[in-house]
């Protein structure tokens, strides 16, 4: 089995390295036709406007939307989460094209600018129940988005209290600020059918449980035809 990793920009090499630690090959995807060779896809973090422009340049949007619609497993991390969301809000979203499919609204730079990036110990009950290991993971948030609204079919896998974050929205859109201030917790990881999305960067830590969890969403592995990830956990 090979996992596609969208390689237009951002932390695609880090995802490929994390997959390798689990004995799985990650292949770089840059052209629409390359999506035909993979049964699952990771969309990495980076800068979502740049990624959207490159995806448009390479005419990737129709093929990416088709991939999601076909029910193939897709995991978006950070900018990848923004890409998968049905709606993005927050600074500088104007006209940015999204793949969509994930029934949620994402605030693009919810936690502030680059300098407000942070790491936290994130409780992950569902992942720990399925993958073993400690009840939380070290989560790296880099100019991170947050999910501020979800549809009924969306399963929340992790959230963080807003009060624990010192700077929220350094310069938000005025009306939006009010609704965001009233939110006590924001969602940072979700699953909806074939889609997984995280606002942080599991590919930047040694804990491989998020990758292992995603790989279990890929049918060949669920069927038990491969056992390559059975020994995964922290390394």
Q: Is 48 annotated as a binding residue?
A: yes
CB under 6 A: which stretch of 141-149, 151-159, 188-196, 227-235 binds ligand GLN? 141-149
Interacting residues with ligand GLN between 6 and 45 (CB under 6 A): 45
Q: Is 33 annotated as a binding residue?
A: no
List the beta bridge partners of residue 74: 41, 195
Q: Is 184 annotated as a binding residue?
A: no
End-to-end CA distance of the chain: give it in Å, rounded. Answer: 22
CA distance 23 to 110: 35
Query: Which uninterrupted H or E stretch holds 12?
Result: helix 12-21
Stretch 62-91: interaction string toward ligand GLN, x if CB under 6 A:
----------------xx--x---------
Q: Is 46 annotated as a binding residue?
A: yes
CA distances from 131 to 16, 42, 127, 218 (A): 20, 19, 6, 15
What is the size of the binding site for ligand GLN (CB under 6 A)?
A: 13
8 Å CB contact between 46 and 10: yes
Interacting residues with ligand GLN between 150 and 169 (CB under 6 A): none
CA distance 200 to 220: 27
Query: Nearer Cβ to ligand GLN, position 79 or 218?
Result: 79
Query: Nearer Cβ to ligand GLN, position 72 or 108?
Result: 108
- Rule CB under 6 A: say whether 145 interacts with ligand GLN: yes
Query: Nearer Cβ to ligand GLN, position 46 or 218?
Result: 46
- Rule CB under 6 A: say whether 46 interacts with ligand GLN: yes
Degrees, nearest 5: CA angle 208-210-211 = 65
Chain position carrying tokens 């730079």 = 109
- Rule CB under 6 A: say whether 108 interacts with ligand GLN: yes
Give least dist CB 81 to ligand GLN, A: 8
Dihedral sign of CA atoms 164, 165, 167, 169 in order: negative
Q: What is residue 119's three-state secondary structure? A: strand
**Site residues (CB under 6 A) for ligand GLN?**
45-48, 78-79, 82, 108-109, 142-145
């Amino acid at each position: 089995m090979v996992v596609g990793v969208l390689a237009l920009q951002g932390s695609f090499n880090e995802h490929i390295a994390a997959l390798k630690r689990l004995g799985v090959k990650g292949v770089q995807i840059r052209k629409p036709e390359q999506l035909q060779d993979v049964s699952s896809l990771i969309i990495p973090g980076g800068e979502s406007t740049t990624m959207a422009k490159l995806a448009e340049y390479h005419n990737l949007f129709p093929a990416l939307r088709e991939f999601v619609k076909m029910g193939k497993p897709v995991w978006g991390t950070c900018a990848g989460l923004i890409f998968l969301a049905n709606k993005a809000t927050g600074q500088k979203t104007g006209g940015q094209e999204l793949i969509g499919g994930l029934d949620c609204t994402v605030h693009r730079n919810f936690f502030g600018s680059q300098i407000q990036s942070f790491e936290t110990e994130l409780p992950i009950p569902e992942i720990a129940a399925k993958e073993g290991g400690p009840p939380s993971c070290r989560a790296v948030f880099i100019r991170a988005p947050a999910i501020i609204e979800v549809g009924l079919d969306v399963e929340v896998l992790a959230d963080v209290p807003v009060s624990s974050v010192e700077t929220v929205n350094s310069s938000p859109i005025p009306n939006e600020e009010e609704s965001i201030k009233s939110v006590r917790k924001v969602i940072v990881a979700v699953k909806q059918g074939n889609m997984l999305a995280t606002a942080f960067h599991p590919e930047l830590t040694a804990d491989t449980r998020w990758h292992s969890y995603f790989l279990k969403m890929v049918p060949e592995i669920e069927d038990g035809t491969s056992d390559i990830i059975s020994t995964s956990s922290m390394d």
